[in-house]
Amino acid sequence: MPSSAIISVKNISKIYRVTDVETLALKNVSFQVNRGEFIAIMGPSGSGKSTLMHILGALDIPSSGQYLLDGMDVSKLSDDQLADIRNQKIGFIFQAFNLLPRTSALKNVCLPMAYAGISKAQRLSSAIELLTRVGLSDRMYHTSNQLSGGQQQRVAIARSLSLNPTIILADEPTGNIATAQAEEIMAIFQKLNSEGHTVIMITHEQDIADHARRILFIRDGKLESDHPVSKRRFSKLKV
C-alpha cells in the first residue's frame, strides 16, 4: 500500500561550514508527516528549527540522510526540479513577512503567479479571492508599509497560497505580531488545514503551538520529542 506520508525524513543531518567553524545543526532527525497534518516545531534558539524547515521546503539539502517529499528523493533532484517542486507544492511564510514594501497587497499576491506564467486576468481574480479569504478585501490597494504587522502577515499568507501549495511552511509566523493578531493568523492556519493543506510552523510560544495537532521539539539539532497536542488543549480551540 502506498504510504500517505507527504514528508518522510530519515536520519538527516546538516553540517554548516563557515571558514574553520563547523556546526552540526541537525543530528540524525527522523519523522514522517501525513497529508493534512498540522504540526508545530518548537525548540530553543539555535536548535536547528529553521535549518529543518529549509530542508523540508527544498531550499537546502541535508548533508546526509534521506528526505522524501511526496515520494520523491529531494537530494536526487536538479536545481530546476527543486525550484519546480517548491513552486508547485510549497507555500512559505516568514517571520519578517518578506513583502515588497512600496507595492500593493494585490501586486504582492500576484507576483508568484506572474513568475509562474499565469495570465494577468487570472492572477488578478485569484489574488482578489485570496485576499478576501484572509479578510483583507478592504486593503487590496494598501502598500505593505501602510498595513499593520498582522495584516502584512495575512498578505504573506495569501501570497503563499497563490499557486495552491499542498504544504504550508511557516517560520515563526507570529513572531513579529501582537497576540490578538496572532490568534487571527492561527485561525487562518486552522481553516487552511481543515481545507486539506498540510501546515508546519515553527514557533517559540506554547500558546501558538497548541493550535497545531502535533508538536515536534528540537533541542541541539536532535528531535527530542514528537507528541500530539493534548485533546484537552485542542478542544478549547475555536476551529
Of residues 47 through 86, those in contact with ligand ATP by CB under 6 A are: 47-51
Mark residues 164-193: x for contact with ligand ATP by CB under 6 A, - for none.
------------------------------
Q: Which of 18, 117, 227, 235 binds ligand ATP (CB under 6 A)?
A: 18
Residues 159 and 94: their CA atoms lie apart, in Å, by 12
Of residues 32 through 71, those in contact with Mg ion by CB under 5 A are: 50
- Which one of 17-25, 135-143, 149-157, 183-191 is the stretch in contact with ligand ATP (CB under 6 A)? 17-25
Least distance from ligand ATP to the Cβ atom of residue 198, Å: 20
Binding status of residue 203 toward Mg ion by CB under 5 A: no
Q: Which of 19, 45, 78, 235 binds ligand ATP (CB under 6 A)?
A: 45
Comparison of 25 and 134: residue with beta carbon closer to Mg ion? 25
For residue 155, the SS3 value is helix
- Which one of 27-35, 40-48, 152-160, 229-237 is the stretch in contact with ligand ATP (CB under 6 A)? 40-48
DSSP line for 41-87: EE--TTSSHHHHHHHHTTSS--SEEEEEETTEEGGGS-HHHHHHHHH
Residues 2 and 8: their CA atoms lie apart, in Å, by 13
Closest listed residue to residue 209, CA positions, set 231, 178, 234: 234
Between the CA of residue 68 and those of 11, 47, 60, 88, 190, what are the distances in Å? 12, 22, 13, 16, 25
Comparison of 16 and 115: residue with beta carbon closer to ligand ATP? 16
* Count of Cβ atoms closer than 10 Å to residue 109 Cβ: 29
- Which one of 18-26, 69-77, 112-120, 140-148 is the stretch in contact with ligand ATP (CB under 6 A)? 18-26
Between the CA of residue 61 and those of 8, 56, 141, 195, what are the distances in Å? 14, 9, 38, 29
Q: Which of 9, 12, 25, 69 binds ligand ATP (CB under 6 A)?
A: 25
Q: Which of 43, 57, 112, 173 binds ligand ATP (CB under 6 A)?
A: 43
Q: Which does 23 bind (CB under 5 to 8 A by kind): Mg ion, ligand ATP, none?
A: ligand ATP
**Cα 226 to chain center, whole Å?**
18
Binding status of residue 112 toward ligand ATP by CB under 6 A: no
Least distance from Mg ion to the Cβ atom of residue 226, Å: 19
Residue whose C-alpha cell is 507595492? 103
- For the chain, how many residues are written? 239
**Cross-strand bridge partners of residue 69:** 7, 72
Of residues 156 through 195, those in contact with Mg ion by CB under 5 A are: none
For residue 105, the SS3 value is helix
- Which one of 38-46, 131-139, 178-186, 192-200 is the stretch in contact with ligand ATP (CB under 6 A)? 38-46
- Beta strand pairing status for 214-219 and 222-228? antiparallel
Sites of contact with ligand ATP (CB under 6 A): 16, 18, 23, 25, 43, 45-51
